Structure 1
Amino acid sequence: MDTNFQPVAQRGPRGKYRQHSLEFKRALVEMTLQPGVSVARLAREHGVNANQVFTWRKLYEAGQLVAAAPAQSSDLLPVVVATQEQVPESEAATGTITLEIGRVRLRIEGQANAATLAQVLERVLR
C-alpha cells in the first residue's frame, strides 16, 4: 500500500476545523488495520488526532465510510417478478418488497408488480 499521500483538508464554515476527504479517511483507516501499526503514531504523522482516527475506524467497520457511488451490477441480487398465473392464489393479493441500506429499511407491502419494482429501483439507484 502506498503511504505517500497528502490530506486534502478544507476549512469548514465554522472556522479552524478541517474536513478530510473520504479517500483520505479510508486510506488512513486501512493503514491502521495492518498488523503492528500504531494508530497514534500514524495519526501524528498525518496531522490528525488519534481519537478522530478511532472514530473513522468505527465508521469504516460499520460500512459508513464509503463514497456514494452508482450501484454496480455485482451489488444487486437477481429479481424475478412472477405473472398472476405463476403465483399461487393465496400469495397473489399480497407481497412485500424490503430494501435495507445501512440502517435504513424501506418496506413496500401489497401486490408487487414490475412497474412498482422498476419505480422503487429507479429511486434507490439515483
Structure 2
Amino acid sequence: MVDAGDVGSRRRVRRWRSVSEKRQIVQLTMEPGASVAEVARAHGVNANQVFKWRRAFDRGELVESCSALIPVTMSSASEASDEPEEAPQASSGGAIHIELPGRAMISVESGADPVLLRSILESLRK
C-alpha cells in the first residue's frame, strides 16, 4: 500500500552557487559554438537562470565581494576651515579628490578598482 504522503513529496533542493561558479558558467556560454541550454544542463542549472547571470555579468554585477581594508583619514568638524580650499592641481598620475561635507575626504588614484570605489561611496552615503 502506498502512503498518500509519499506521492509527490520529492523536494527540489536549490543549490547555492558562488559568484566564481556563476562567472565560470557564464564564461563557458560565451565560448564560440556554446549553447546556453547545454551548458546550463551540464551544470544542473535552469537556462533562464544562466541568462540572468549573463545579464548581471554584462552589467559588471557578477563580481566577488571585496572586503579589503583601505586607509581613511578623517578630520573633525573643528578642523574644517570656513574658507574654501584651493582646488588641487591635476597630477600626471591622475587622481581625484572627493570631499564629503563635514564627513570625509577621499583621494582616488588612477587605476583604482571601480567596484571597490562604488561600494565605498555607497557605504559613505548612508
> Which TM-score applies when normalising by structure 2?
0.48
Per residue, is there more helix in 1 or in 2?
1
> Which TM-score applies when normalising by structure 1?
0.48
